[in-house]
């Protein structure tokens, strides 16, 4: 369980930094949401 939580936290941190940077916000918004949704589906199964 701890490994899953760590992986999720790393993904959330990556998405947070991605959206925090104006240069990447527009270009990576869709990709970030896709990754986030994929991780949510994996965790909720």
Number of domains in the chain: 1
40 is in which domain, residue-wise?
Answer: 2-44
Which pLDDT score, from 0 to 100, does residue 6 have? 85
Which pLDDT score, from 0 to 100, does residue 39 have? 66
CB 39 within 8 A of CB 19: no
Whole-model pTM: value is 0.38
Q: What is the residue whose two structure tokens read 């990556």?
A: 14
Residue 20 DSSP SS3: helix
Q: How many CA atoms lie within 13 A of 7 on its CB side?
A: 11
| CA gap 14, 44 in Å, rounded | 20
For residues 27 and 6, the model is more confident at 6
Task: Give the model confidence (pLDDT) of 10-20 as tens digits.
Answer: 887 777 766 56
Q: Sign of the C-alpha dihedral, residues 8, 9, 10, 13?
A: positive
């Amino acid at each position: 369980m701890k490994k899953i939580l760590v992986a999720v936290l790393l993904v959330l941190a990556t998405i947070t930094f991605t959206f925090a940077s104006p240069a990447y916000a527009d270009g990576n918004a869709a990709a970030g949401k896709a990754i986030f949704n994929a991780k949510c589906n994996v965790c909720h199964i």
